[in-house]
Amino acid sequence: MIDRDIIEASYKDSQALKFSLFEIVEACIDIANHIIAAERFERAEGYAEMFITLGKHGIIQKELAEKLAKMAKFMNLLIHRYWEADMRYIMEIVEKSLGDVGEFMVRIEEYMERRGV
């Protein structure tokens, strides 16, 4: 369990947490982009739409796609409006949404097994 008070009180720890979340979401986006290209799915117009495309084509469940799309939108916030990234919101993502990334990895592994990769 992460101690919110310690993270919020430490600039170094809060920045490390933001960057780690950024890297996690970026890795998921890279995977989604690769699958979209390999399968020749329609081009996604943005990061969030990449997950929606995977859901539309049954690579991941639609509900999971929507959750990951929200995380991708959060990444855009970290990139373009980082000063608005509230630590309470970031902590909420860590506590409630990282399981979605784990679920994504399980679904990607299943996809790869189906493809014989």
Domain count of the fold of the chain: 1
For residue 87, which phi and psi values (nearest 5 degrees)? -65, -30
Share above pLDDT 90 across residues of the chain, in percent, rounded to a whole number: 54
As a whole number of Å, the end-to-end CA separation of the chain is 35
d(CA 94, CA 104): 15
pLDDT tens for each residue of 97-115: 889 999 999 999 999 999 8
User: Which segments in the chain show pLDDT lower than 70?
Assistant: 1-2, 4, 80, 82-85
CATH code of the domain containing 88 = 1.20.120.580
H or E element at residue 114: helix 87-115
**Confidence at residue 82, expressed as pLDDT on a 0 to 100 scale:** 65
Residue 110 sits in which domain range? 4-115
What's the pTM value of the predicted model, to 2 decimals?
A: 0.85
